Amino acid sequence: MRSEHSTQKMDDRPARILLKRAEIQERIRSLGEQITLEMQGLTPCIMPILDGGMIFTSDLIRQISLPITLLPIKASSYGQERVSSGRLELPLGVSPLARDQDVLLVDDILDTGLTLTTLYSSLLAAGARSVRTCVLLRKQHAVHLHADYIGFDIPNEFVVGYGLDHAGHHRNLPDIRCLETRKNPKSLNQSS
């Protein structure tokens, strides 16, 4: 039988599992509890940063026991590459609906900080009442960067799965895996 992704023509393949689906879900459960406690009395406007933050957000909001609204925002700085272009593109801009909201920005990963820093100030400039930030992952070289809620600190590796992609692929993998080059590929059917 062909492996799950054997039809994808990629130079690199996701291999070693960094975070298993069960530990991701467990951490999201406690992040949801913490957000519920700390945003008590508010109606958070949850803002997933698309595309990467979409899957994390959909699990996170189901662990938040508060009335919420959902206002996705589209942002991109990576294109097809593994390194940030250093420029954040906001093809649809920042919604005027963010005005007077207590926004919780939700992204998959904190790397250079460009995405969160840019959106944080753009939202305040657009009239948001408050802006908090939540990321599932923070790379080691970003440990000096602040986010209000952080799922896991991880090594400086390029990771895919659970919403994270490489050139548009692998977002649907349930675990988070490191992307490795083809010279030592491992089958996705191997568990680690």
Interaction site with ligand XMP (CB under 6 A): 49, 52, 77-78, 84, 107-115, 158-160, 164-166
* 111 catalytically annotated: yes
Which residue, 79 or 127, has its beta carbon nearer to ligand XMP? Answer: 79
Cite the beta strand spans of 3-148 per DSSP E: 12-19, 45-50, 69-70, 73-74, 102-110, 130-139
Which residue, 11 or 100, has its beta carbon nearer to ligand XMP? Answer: 11
Closest CB 78 distance from ligand XMP, rounded Å = 5
SS3 28: helix
Which residue, 94 or 160, has its beta carbon nearer to ligand XMP? Answer: 160
Closest CB 82 distance from ligand XMP, rounded Å = 7
80, exposed or middle or buried, with CB in 10 Å at 0-12, 13-18, 19+? exposed
**Phi and psi for 27 in degrees, rounded to 5?**
-65, -40
Q: What single DSSP character describes residue 181?
A: E
Closest CB 142 distance from ligand XMP, rounded Å = 7
Q: Compute the C-alpha angle 149/47/104, nearest 5°.
A: 35
Query: Which of these is catalytic: 12, 107, 108, 111?
Result: 111
Which residue, 16 or 129, has its beta carbon nearer to ligand XMP? Answer: 16
Closest CB 165 distance from ligand XMP, rounded Å = 5
Residue with tokens 């675990």: 175
90 vs 58: CA distance, rounded Å: 21
Which tokens go with 149? 């809620």
Q: What is the dihedral of CA 138, 47, 56, 32, to 10 degrees?
A: 90
Q: Which residues are catalytic?
A: 111
